[in-house]
Structure 1
Amino acid sequence: MPPFSQSGPISNGFSINNQKTNHHNHHPSTNIITIDVGGQLFQTTKQTLTLAGSKTLFSNLFDSYEHNSINNIPFIDRDPELFSILLSLLRTGNLPSKAKAFDIQDIIFEARFYGISDLLVQSQSNPSQFEPFDLEKSVILPLSGRDSPSAIATTPNGWVHVSHGSKITSFDWSLQRKSTTLTSFTAIDSLLALSPNVVAAGATDFSGLQILDLDLGVVKQTLNWENATKSSSTVQAIGISPEFLFTSFESGRRNSNSIMVYDLNSFKVVSEIAHNEIFGADLDSAIPSTKLNWVPSLNLLMASGSHSGPSGVSGNIKFWDVRSGNAVWEIKETVDCFSDITVSDTLSAVFKIGINSGEVSYIDLRNFGSNDSWVCLGDTRKVKVNNGKKEGFGCKIETHGNQVFCGKQGKLELWSEVLMGSSNNVKDRIFRKNMLGRVKDLGENRIMNMGFGGNKMFVTRKDQQCVEVWQSSVRRF
């Protein structure tokens, strides 16, 4: 029920109001509890207070009622409007719409006072609140210096780390800048978050994969690949599974490449897969993996890479059994090689943007190993008619949940599957396209990176020194 005013003593913090009351709902044996916050009375239930957990101020309020035999009202000398917001958080698991009128930092500070900051984080960075069809550009995170972002890495609860030049800047779930770390890299090409404060970083022109503690600003460990020529080992891609950290290395002389598998906890070498020594004009072996995606349902690592040669762009996609070190499926790209590629475990498909056509296509993983022909999501006529122009050059594709996101130059496309019954026929799958954002959200600069964390999507563009944060207009406050 809404708060109502009552005069009461002024004190610092939490105390028991000495004013006695005869209202029956103040008795400790009843379920309803009355609290005086800054002179306003609030009523709630014991069940609601217990949702805050033990060792919080709310649990103290509950205990005071359980052991208070003189029926006094607990008094807290804090802002009643902020208390009302946090009480709604306890009741529903979400912040009410009126929270939009407050600065998020004020709400965070108050949640810490009451001991429920973890509940606040869960409510505002919960992936279940990600609404793909209602995404709007809500916040711009500026970056220091003149360098544009080269890579981004996100955590499940909404932290984002951004590499720009030789620096990595971190923002927490509330989009507050936490740190900027100067690294030994000239530029960082691969970035992966291992935790809110630890990342793996590598570059195509700098030897070794570095494990960085961003809180302390130090390199915890450097991982190298000992290649046959004893030259430097540059990082082409990084991937992760619940157990392993994967790193695609290429020798400094560019005549060998490999994928190293490390234990995610100790960073000790587990195995080496996809080792290639290049001899002569063996173009297939010359292609290092530039993207690594773990596929949980198959328990396989998808490694992909492309190469631009005299006859055009070619590439390959291999699925690796990490335990045996064997490639169990290979897809060779020659006609309309991918500009970018990804895999969705939820949708059971590999998705690509063709570099020639600019069209989105997929291979259904439900027929794993038996079908390597691409099915176009859009107009299939465009795949064959491109007049030699690379319509998909520089385009990006990522999946999140059961959605496919495409960055085509400055625009964002969202592809969603339309469920058409229980048919398992690959050709029966139908996807529909939506354009994301309002007119003012669209930019002319090409999209370079897309990342997802909590209930947010992060986007960076070429030649812009910032990160765009896209959120649902319904859930955002």
Structure 2
Amino acid sequence: MLLEVNTENSPSQPMASTSTSSSVVTLNVGGELFQTTAGTLSRAGASSPLASLAPSSPNAPHFLDRDPRLFALILSFLRCGRLASPPPSSALLAEARHFALDGALLASLSPPSAFSPLSLRPAALLPLTGRVAPSVVAISPSPCTASLVAAHGGAVTSFDAALASRASVLTPLPTVDSLVAVSPALALAGARDFPGVHLCRFLGDAAATASEALSWQDSPSASVLSLATTAASEAASQWLFASFESARRNSSAVVAFDLNSLSPVVEIGRKEVFGADVEAAIPPTKLGWLAGHSLLLAAGSHSGPAGMVGDIRLWDVRASSTVPVWEVREKEDCFADVAASDSLSALFKVGAASGEVFMADLRRLSGDGSGVEPWVCIGDEQRAGAATASRRKDGNNCRVECYRSWVFVTRGADVEVWSQVELTSEAGKKKAMRKNWLGNGPSMITAGSVDGMVEKAKIVSWAFGGSRMALARVDQRSIEVWDSASGAISVNL
């Protein structure tokens, strides 16, 4: 059974509270006085000694023989649901464990380095209001605890790092196809065939809004979004990459926006349709940023009478916005999905016909890719060849995503993970990619009652951040959260 988290808090109450008491609790922590409420301390969880502290006066404070600097951070975290300081240190995590903070709180403080795919287990089920199932989820890359956002219909709901609902906002979009969580206070939403990139702001006590939009002067629609941190001139700035297509579908381009000024920076890879050649301007439907290589991945596909055709391009936006550093046209076993891994210096795709996973080494890619087969099948090569020859569609609905040093693939309701292993311990020897299943594999059941278990539904969207993975499943009005942080889960699942 999953832990179902109550998400009925008001926007002014960012984290779940088990008490409405406003009685003041005074604490002497290592010689420094702190004042808070019993309600704030109760957010540490029922098993935490902080939750049992009764109201006290400044003349008779509770004494805790701990570091006041670390306690100040924990108290701030309990108050607002996120850290205002740099990423959590090992000392802060140790202090949080000392005070036996609730499992969701501990998990939200865990850095990405605590992520272990084979230790992922279902941790919480976050119900969403309304009658529409979620279409897409995203987790912010914030270094001070990652927040989660989910789109259901035209609404976007934000959960703080402790998995308590902060607020929901209704966008002008009938449904959201693409979602980026920039920070705990800002998310961006886009949809195919509808104008602009809509900014969803979640500002604590203030009402959530979605009244602003980013647009491209030649196009009313934004089909896919990607957040990236890249170098602009000598200063670092945060860029949002959005793929646009014109209303008449006769041109497309990727546009970079500076998130500080919310203004367009550069138009990348503009394509025009000439005559009936609709394949001349296939808009990218998958964007990815490789910070270590300063490359933008842009990929899109088109299904026509002759089958599926797709383009994959890598752009060095510092060098040129019109000529990619590498591109390839996919025809034989076009990709169902493609992703880039900074850590592994590679591209990965799932074949639309075969459903098998392929890998391309970034260090060996250059030019237009003509005459060179960049892909190496890391799955069943014989099966891939047979499926391609018979023009099967085994890769339908498969998705691939890279997070840190792992590659994840969805197959219906299940997730497989690929990791790189050394064939021998000797220096200079080859490495190989090996596959595992998350949890207990395809037979694992993650929802339902004890008497009437329900098989998992197909995954429609997923996201990674910190030590967590979030999943949206078809026809389920909730978000499934898996976590791998050590000691993070404090309930029986």
Q: CA 1:148–1:181 in structure 2 vs 1: closer, same or farther (change >3 Å)? A: same
Residue 435 of structure 1 and its aligned partner are, at CA, apart by 0.9
Residue 147 of structure 2 corresponds to residue 159 of structure 1: yes
Q: Which residue pairs with 2:132 in the alignment?
A: 147
User: Structure 2: which amino acid aligns with 1:328?
Assistant: V
Distance 2:432 2:187 in 1: 38
Aligned residues: 392
Q: CA 1:278–1:206 in structure 2 vs 1: closer, same or farther (change >3 Å)? A: same
Q: Which residue pairs with 1:431 in the alignment?
A: 433
Residue 399 of structure 2 corresponds to residue 404 of structure 1: no
User: Structure 2: which amino acid aligns with 1:235?
Assistant: A
Q: Which residue pairs with 2:224 in the alignment?
A: 237
Instruction: Supply the RMSD in Å over aligned alpha carbons.
Output: 3.0
User: Structure 2: which amino acid aligns with 1:143?
Assistant: L
Further displaced range: 144-153 or 433-442: 433-442
Q: Which residue pairs with 1:457 in the alignment?
A: 469
Distance 1:434 1:177 in 2: 33
Residue 169 of structure 2: which of 181, 184, 191 is its match? Answer: 181
Distance 2:485 2:158 in 1: 24
Residue 26 of structure 2 corresponds to residue 13 of structure 1: yes
Q: Which residue pairs with 1:26 in the alignment?
A: none
Distance 1:284 1:424 in 2: 43
1:36-80 per-residue CA deviation (whole Å, 9 max, x = no partner) reads x87999885xxx51552779999xxxxxxxxxxxxxxxxxxxxxx
Distance 2:74 2:417 in 1: 42
Residue 166 of structure 1 and its aligned partner are, at CA, apart by 1.0
Q: CA 1:310–1:423 in structure 2 vs 1: closer, same or farther (change >3 Å)? A: farther
Further displaced range: 273-282 or 301-310: 273-282
Residue 93 of structure 1 and its aligned partner are, at CA, apart by 4.6
Distance 1:391 1:186 in 2: 31
Q: Which residue pairs with 1:360 in the alignment?
A: 357
Residue 70 of structure 2: which of 52, 67, 79 is its match? Answer: 52
Q: CA 1:267–1:423 in structure 2 vs 1: closer, same or farther (change >3 Å)? A: farther
Further displaced range: 433-442 or 388-397: 433-442
Q: CA 1:423–1:409 in structure 2 vs 1: closer, same or farther (change >3 Å)? A: farther
Q: CA 1:93–1:454 in structure 2 vs 1: closer, same or farther (change >3 Å)? A: farther
Q: Which residue pairs with 1:445 in the alignment?
A: 457
Q: CA 1:126–1:93 in structure 2 vs 1: closer, same or farther (change >3 Å)? A: farther
Residue 260 of structure 2: which of 261, 265, 269 is its match? Answer: 265
- SS in structure 1 of the partner of residue 287 of structure 2: strand
Distance 2:300 2:411 in 1: 20
Q: TM-score, normalised by structure 1?
A: 0.75
Residue 243 of structure 2: which of 248, 254, 275 is its match? Answer: 248
Q: CA 1:56–1:303 in structure 2 vs 1: closer, same or farther (change >3 Å)? A: closer
User: Structure 2: which amino acid aligns with 1:217?
Assistant: A
Gaps of 5+ in 1: 1-10, 17-36, 59-87, 109-119
Residue 168 of structure 1 and its aligned partner are, at CA, apart by 0.5
Q: Which residue pairs with 2:295 in the alignment?
A: 300
Does structure 1 retain, via aligned residues, the 8 Å contact 2:289–2:295?
yes
Residue 324 of structure 2 corresponds to residue 327 of structure 1: yes
Does structure 1 retain, via aligned residues, the 8 Å contact 2:355–2:393?
yes
Residue 329 of structure 2 corresponds to residue 317 of structure 1: no
Q: Which residue pairs with 1:77 in the alignment?
A: none
Q: Which residue pairs with 1:346 in the alignment?
A: 343
1:222-273 per-residue CA deviation (whole Å, 9 max, x = no partner) reads 222222xxxx521111122213211110011111111112112101121111
Residue 372 of structure 1 and its aligned partner are, at CA, apart by 4.5
Q: Which residue pairs with 1:206 in the alignment?
A: 194
Q: CA 1:41–1:149 in structure 2 vs 1: closer, same or farther (change >3 Å)? A: closer
Distance 1:422 1:317 in 2: 35
Distance 2:139 2:286 in 1: 16
Does structure 1 retain, via aligned residues, the 8 Å contact 2:148–2:159?
yes
Distance 2:93 2:479 in 1: 34
Q: CA 1:121–1:131 in structure 2 vs 1: closer, same or farther (change >3 Å)? A: closer
Distance 1:55 1:320 in 2: 41
Distance 1:15 1:352 in 2: 56
User: Structure 1: which amino acid aligns with 2:191?
Assistant: A
- SS in structure 2 of the partner of residue 281 of structure 1: coil
Residue 104 of structure 2 corresponds to residue 92 of structure 1: no
1:293-313 per-residue CA deviation (whole Å, 9 max, x = no partner) reads 111122121100000011111
Q: For CA contacts below 8 A with separation 6 or more, give which structure has more relative contact order.
A: 2
Q: Which residue pairs with 1:376 in the alignment?
A: 377
Distance 1:424 1:236 in 2: 43
- SS in structure 1 of the partner of residue 279 of structure 2: helix
1:81-116 per-residue CA deviation (whole Å, 9 max, x = no partner) reads xxxxxxx975825525x93xx7569xx7xxxxxxxx
User: Structure 1: which amino acid aligns with 2:385?
Assistant: K
User: Structure 1: which amino acid aligns with 2:437?
Assistant: M
Q: Which residue pairs with 2:284 in the alignment?
A: 289
Residue 440 of structure 1 and its aligned partner are, at CA, apart by 2.0
